[in-house]
Amino acid sequence: MSARRVVVVGYGMAGARFAEEVRRRDPSGDRVALTVVGQERHAAYNRVLLSGVVAGTMRADAVRLQTADWADAHGVDLRLGATACGIDRDRRVVRLADDSEVGYDALVLATGSRPWIPPTEGLTDPDGSLAPGVVAFRTLDDCVRITSLAAPGTPVAVVGGGLLGLEAARGLAGRGCLVTVVHPVGHLMERQLDAGAGRVLARALEGLGIEFRLGALATKYLAGDGLALDDGTRVPAELVVVSAGVRAETGLAADAGIAVDRGVLVDDALRTDDPRVHAIGDCAQHTGTVGGLVQPAWEQAAVLADRLTGTAPGARYTGTPVVTRLKARDVDLAALGDVHVEVDCPDSEVLCFADPTRGRYAKLVLRDDRVTGAILLGAPDAAAAITQLYDRDLPAPTDRLALLLGRTLPGEAAVASPADLPGSAVVCRCNTVSKAQLVTAWRAGATTPSALAERTRATTGCGGCKDAVRDVSAWLASTS
Amino acid sequence: MTSTATHCPYCALQCAMSLDGRRVRPREFPTNRGGLCQKGWTSAEVLTAAGRLTTPLVRRDGVLRPASWDDALDVVATRLAGLRAEHGPDSVAVFGGGGLTNEKAYQLGKFARVALGSAQIDYNGRFCMSSAAAAGTRAFGLDRGMPFPVTDLDDSGAVLLAGSNPAETMPPFVQHLRGAELIVVDPRRSATAEQATLHLQPAPGTDLALALGLLHTAVAEGLIDEKYLAERTTGFEETWLVAAAWWPERVERVTGVSAADQLAAVRILAAADTAHVLTGRGAEQHASGTDTTSAWINFALALGLPGTPGSGFGCLTGQGNGQGGREHGQKADQLPGYRKIDDPAAREHVAGVWGVDPASLPGPGRSAYELLDALGEPAGPRALLVFGSNLLVSAPRSNHVAQRLAALDLLVVADVVLSETAQAADVVFPVTQWAEESGTTTSLEGRVLLRERALPAPDGVRSDLDLLHGLAVRLGQPAERFPVEPEVVFDELRRASAGGPADYSGVTYSRLRDGEALHWPVPAPGHPGTPRLFLDRFAHPDGLARLVPVDHRGPAEPQDADFPLHATTGRLLQHYQSGAQTRRVRELVEAAPEAHVEVHPDTATRAGLADGALAAVVSRRGRTVARVRCVPSMRLDVVFLPFHFPGEGRANLLTNPALDPTSRMPEFKVCAVRLEQP
């Protein structure tokens, strides 16, 4: 039997991951002959790390996903700088821009998404390309361009106060730019945060030198003049970073007559309405959800590799719980599930804690003891613990307050006075010596720490209880 | 009364003590600094424990009955010879232990390969140090658990302990951690974690992801030692490609350790002038244990620690002679001196010392669990000789191991007491223990120690070397090939190890008696030993350390609806390994009398269990009964069981024998379970 010809269109995080997952299951290529068509000239890179590149913590060459020789070494026909411009589903071929064709038995669309540019006057040139000084925040090339323009003191406008916009803003502020975020909604990250959290987040970021224009629309950009807003004010900007959302790349699928909504529609087998054509990652729309995060894309890549290599032909993708984490230095924010629930909502148990002065906000929504939504800002321990409960569908601990504080605090050690210790309390762990044994030994005449050690062996292991034993001895001396 | 300077019979710290008759006194020594834990203080009680075996036992009509040494040896030798004649040499297998002295471990390997001609020998260190050994060898070209003296830790600025709880498992060791910022990685808030500056509490089986995350953070923070990586290592580029995919927030989701704590840990280590990363069984006893250890080594290499004066990477060896026991040939793939049994030069050298034809030496045999799994099977061994191991308590998936032992034609056990495994044997030999015999051990820091005989053995008790001699002679070996005097055996071990990675040729009993601190390799009689390895070069031919690209896989048995919890296992301060010794010491039993299971109070309540009640812990492989101990710091989805207890309290009734592909280590540290009413 000859190998199944699988063609992947897109060499981003989903496409590259899919190729790796296939070769992990089929290292020799016996089952799958793999061709990957990638539009960019360089090797696949890790988009998640791009905010680190903007912030200057991650070198541009450290974000690639694979070595240059990965495809060769793994028997993958990788075609970089190649653009797929059509699918002939009857003949089962993909047509490339150079008029060549690649035949497939199974086609995987991993075309990703492209930034959405608001129709603000001046952001784009008449030909549709971005105006000088305007950069989207999407590709590695974008990041390189941003960092080349982001000298300390440069006024920068970030259009969009969503997750990526704020990561870019934080990174640029860290470089010493004068950053203003323009966001059309009244609070930041409105999809993931309620208004209270949005306010605390804005305040925290203001403390790091970022300014905000909330509920304001940019109306016009003029190089040298900055960004004009609909409230009549103006934001100085020598650089405009646009991060106003993305749109799935569905053109190739739509042109081929494949069903498309906001993304390419797929079922639990990641199949489109043509069973030989699949879609994963940002371009795919699964049960109403369009991607945008890497975790679903990677899980889809694994499921599809299971299916197409025959490792697990019945594998199903049933969705990924979404946890949003802001990657911004000195700001720890996690948001998950449905958080747009009022504290007095009768169907849910909602806890909320706000400490704007210290940049902390915690909201927890539970239903039937399960976490259904949470916002944790400035509460990293709670964020980690609550995410575990959410991901693993575990019932929440009854001590809700401890959960919200982030750590199940062990009872404070009774260090106040030896008098307060119960007799059964173990003072010397290494030799299992209780307070009661020390008391008995003391009353039998071992009234110094060394005599107590001789009699009970307390302090003779690691010696960590020397102070405690001395205190017990002193306490007994003072009470006798 | 004479006083004999010796070392504790239990863990690899090998605390120095004196025996005045049967009275234990702690002794000043660099490792324990005059400290002893409760096990050490009470260790002499095992010498006179009730139930001490003083006569061989042979099963007749289903009952173990006393027999003379000659009769018992004749019975065993006759049956071994018969099996060998009928089914070939591999029909007889040998199982050793990490508590045996170097001399016994060496002689056991020689006995298997020469007297039995069998490839089928392995030992319980496979369940202990094999992942550490495989990862250490892979990275550094050589495995010595701690390639530096324990006392180096005294001056360390920061120590990360991954999967180790020395405050309970080797308490006096904790003295060496007092000066450092301590970071403890443990799914439980252990006694050691309570003493830490920072406790990272990952879900069981996710340590590898955590180590990748710390490496990622070190890179992102610009805290790696690029000069060191360039000059002393290879493999960083490929390793980074894996770690690049483990950004802190992703690691947090998998492990439960917050991104903020990951950053704090990296900063503590990087800010210290000198730092150490140390692993224990918590990281290693997994089906991905070798890779997990490699991930910690990669992290340590990225920080420039191994082979740098004052810093380092090490694995904390567990059993008393867990280091020496893995060097001298009781391991399935090994010959003395840490030589590989499939290396022609190694075979020729060792065969020369043994006076046999190199071609007569068998090749590599089955690893420990695979050996146990094959017992009594058509292609498997039909007889098993067990030395210094209590398999029915300490091996994974106990019920299955019991079935395999029952399927044998002949089970022979040499032990001090009638352990659970000895009770199942056809023939039991009563052997000497610590203090009744001389012999060397090699401690966790690679230092060779002499434990001198302090007391006569009880009548009827002989040393394992005697037993091996008796069997070898009856199997047709020349008497002089299997000497019974430990020092004679050691002198032969020196020659057999000469030129090997673990070279003991310069170590002599007289040098040890003089108090010389000899860390191997000691390649010549005048050589001062090697306290610190790798200062100039690593042991690979090019002198460079290897970063190995390893990726996270997760537990072999994930939680599911039927088994929604993960069980992890470990040790208590009061007990040692299967408890065969410590469960016979009154004071230790009073302090820790029975199996317990640590559970989050909510998890106990949901299972209808109260603190102090008995619970059944059930996995796909068995059911353990243990007393509930509610511990609020436990994760909601994790329970902990100590593995020292017998019968229905055996934690290993539950454990998963999924094996590490490289080290063949079973996955002791995580299996899926549920809680039930008992």
Tell me: the pLDDT tens digits for B264-313? 999 999 999 999 999 999 999 999 999 999 999 999 999 999 999 999 99
**Residue A318 within any structural domain of the chain:** no
Q: The domain containing residue A197 runs over which residues?
A: 134-244
List residues bridging with B339 in a β-sheet: B335
C-beta separation of A432 from A457 below 8 A: no
Considering only the beta carbons, identify the residue of B174, B249, B633 that sits closest to A464: B174
**Residue A338 within any structural domain of the chain:** yes
Give the 3-state secondary structure of residue B373.
Answer: helix
Helix (H) or strand (E) segment spanning residue B490 = helix B486-497
Domain end (from A380, A405, A430): A405
Cβ neighbours of residue B480 under 8 Å, at least 6 residues apart? none
Residue of A nearest to B254 (CA): A388
- Cα separation of B527 and B517, whole Å? 11
- Cα separation of B424 and A153, whole Å? 80
Considering only the beta carbons, identify the residue of B245, B606, B633 that sits closest to A408: B633
**Residue A314 within any structural domain of the chain:** no
B226 contacts on A by Cβ (under 8 Å): none
Q: Are residues A194 and A290 in the same domain?
A: no
Best to test chain A binding among B11, B559, B602, B633 (most A CBs inside 10 Å): B602
- Cα separation of A377 and A356, whole Å? 10
Look up residue B45 and give its amino acid.
E
Q: Are residues A399 and A428 in the same domain?
A: no
Q: What is the CATH number of the domain that holds A398?
A: 3.30.390.30
How many contacts does A have with B, using Cβ atoms within 8 A? 127
A399 contacts on B by Cβ (under 8 Å): 632
- Cα separation of B443 and B454, whole Å? 20
The DSSP secondary structure of B47-87, one letter per residue, reads GG-TTB--S-EEEETTEEEE--HHHHHHHHHHHHHHHHHHH
For B464-481, what is each residue's pLDDT tens digit? 999 999 999 999 999 999
Look up residue A103 and give its amino acid.
G
A332 contacts on B by Cβ (under 8 Å): 258-260
Cβ neighbours of residue A387 under 8 Å, at least 6 residues apart? A323, A334, A336, B252, B253, B256
Q: Is B636 on the interface with A (CB under 8 A)?
A: yes
Query: Using the beta-carbon criterion (under 8 Å), do A395 and B606 form an inter-chain contact?
Result: yes
Cβ neighbours of residue B614 under 8 Å, at least 6 residues apart? B625, B626, B627, B628, B678
- Cα separation of B140 and B546, whole Å? 7
Domain end (from A405, A427, A454): A405
Cβ neighbours of residue A252 under 8 Å, at least 6 residues apart? A9, A84, A85, A86, A87, A109, A111
C-beta separation of B343 from B569 below 8 A: no
Residue ranges in A238-309 assigned as alpha helix (H): 251-255, 294-308
Nearest-Cα distance to chain B for A136, in Å, is 23
Give me the pLDDT at residue B287, please. 97
Instruction: Collect all residues from A whose CB is shorter than 8 A from any CB in B.
Output: 46, 48-49, 52, 57-58, 62-67, 295, 323, 325, 327, 332, 380-381, 383-385, 387-389, 391-392, 394-395, 397-399, 408, 410-411, 429-432, 457, 460-464
Q: What is the CATH number of the domain that holds A439?
A: 1.10.10.1100
What's the structural domain count of chain A? Answer: 4
**Phi, psi for A181 (deg, rounded to 5):** -100, 125
Residue ranges in B278-379 assigned as alpha helix (H): 281-284, 289-302, 344-354, 368-374
Helix (H) or strand (E) segment spanning residue B241 = helix B236-243
Token duo for residue B200:
């990272």
**Residue A129 within any structural domain of the chain:** no
Instruction: Compute CA distances A175 → A183, A444, B208, whole Å.
Output: 22, 70, 33
Q: Are residues A149 and A198 in the same domain?
A: yes
Average pLDDT of the residues in B42-56: 94
Best to test chain B binding among A45, A434, A462, A467 (most B CBs inside 10 Å): A462
Q: What is the CATH number of the domain that holds A28?
A: 3.50.50.60
**Residue A319 within any structural domain of the chain:** no
List residues bridging with B528 in a β-sheet: none
Give me the pLDDT at residue A411, please. 45
Q: Are residues A15 and A99 in the same domain?
A: yes
C-beta separation of B362 from B122 below 8 A: no
- Cα separation of B301 and B422, whole Å? 45
- Cα separation of A221 and A223, whole Å? 6
**Residue A322 within any structural domain of the chain:** no
Q: Are strands A433-434 and A426-428 parallel, antiparallel or unpaired?
A: antiparallel
- Cα separation of A18 and B546, whole Å? 28
- Cα separation of B547 and B212, whole Å? 12
Give me the pLDDT at residue A289, please. 84
Three-state SS letters, A150-183: CCCCCEEEEECCCHHHHHHHHHHHHCCCEEEEEE
Q: Are strands B596-599 and B92-96 parallel, antiparallel or unpaired?
A: unpaired
Q: Is B611 on the interface with A (CB under 8 A)?
A: no
- At B25, is the pLDDT very low, low, confident or very high (cuts 50, 70, 90)? very high
Give me the pLDDT at residue A375, please. 98
DSSP 8-class letter at B167? H
Q: Is B240 on the interface with A (CB under 8 A)?
A: yes
Give me the pLDDT at residue A414, please. 46
Give me the pLDDT at residue B1, please. 60
Query: Using the beta-carbon criterion (under 8 Å), do B244 and A388 form an inter-chain contact?
Result: no
Q: Are residues A436 and A396 in the same domain?
A: no
Nearest C-alpha neighbor of A244 from the set A327, A169, A136, A335: A136
The DSSP secondary structure of A436-457, one letter per residue, reads HHHHHHHHTT--SHHHHHHHH-
Burial of A1 (0-12, 13-18, 19+ CB in 10 A): exposed
Give me the pLDDT at residue A410, please. 45
For B133-151, what is each residue's pLDDT tens digit? 999 999 999 999 999 999 9
C-beta separation of A56 from A67 below 8 A: no
Domains and CATH numbers, chain B: 3-48 (2.20.25.90), 89-127+326-513 (3.40.50.740), 134-316 (3.40.228.10), 565-676 (2.40.40.20)
Residue of A nearest to B258 (CA): A384
Query: Using the beta-carbon criterion (under 8 Å), do A462 and B173 form an inter-chain contact?
Result: yes
**Residue A223 within any structural domain of the chain:** yes
Query: Using the beta-carbon criterion (under 8 Å), do A429 and B191 form an inter-chain contact?
Result: yes
DSSP 8-class letter at B116? I
Q: Are residues A153 and A222 in the same domain?
A: yes
Give me the pLDDT at residue A68, please. 86
Q: Are residues A109 and A251 in the same domain?
A: yes
Q: Are residues A271 and A335 in the same domain?
A: no
Q: Are strands B439-442 and B63-66 parallel, antiparallel or unpaired?
A: unpaired
- Cα separation of B593 and B583, whole Å? 8
A27 preceded by a cis bond (ω within 30 of 0): no
Q: Are residues A139 and A206 in the same domain?
A: yes
- Cα separation of A188 and A162, whole Å? 6
Give me the pLDDT at residue A119, please. 94
Q: Are residues A31 and A82 in the same domain?
A: yes
Nearest-Cα distance to chain B for A232, in Å, is 40
Q: Are residues A238 and A254 in the same domain?
A: no
For B397-415, what is each residue's pLDDT tens digit? 999 999 999 999 999 999 9
**Residue A320 within any structural domain of the chain:** no
C-beta separation of A183 from A241 below 8 A: no
Q: Are residues A108 and A161 in the same domain?
A: no
Terminal-to-terminal C-alpha distance of chain B: 52
The DSSP secondary structure of B522-553, one letter per residue, reads --STT----SS-SSS--SSTTS-EE-------
- At B601, is the pLDDT very low, low, confident or very high (cuts 50, 70, 90)? very high
Q: Is B42 on the interface with A (CB under 8 A)?
A: no
Q: What is the pLDDT along chain A (480 residues), one digit of tens a residue?
A: 589 999 999 999 999 999 999 999 999 999 999 999 999 888 889 999 999 999 988 888 899 999 889 999 999 999 999 999 999 999 999 999 999 999 999 999 999 999 999 999 999 999 989 999 999 999 999 999 999 999 999 999 999 999 999 999 999 999 999 999 999 999 999 999 999 999 999 999 999 999 999 999 999 999 989 999 999 999 999 999 999 999 999 999 999 999 999 999 999 999 999 999 999 999 999 998 887 889 999 999 999 999 999 999 999 999 999 999 999 999 999 999 999 999 999 999 999 999 999 999 999 999 999 999 999 999 999 999 999 999 999 999 999 988 988 764 444 444 568 888 899 999 999 999 999 999 999 999 999 999 999 999 999 999 999 999 999 999 999 987
Cβ neighbours of residue A226 under 8 Å, at least 6 residues apart? A155, A157, A234, A235, A236, A237
Nearest-Cα distance to chain B for A299, in Å, is 13
- Cα separation of A391 and B249, whole Å? 14
Residue of A nearest to B252 (CA): A384
Give helix then strand counts, H and E, for chain B: 23, 29
C-beta separation of B468 from B108 below 8 A: yes
Cβ neighbours of residue B63 under 8 Å, at least 6 residues apart? none
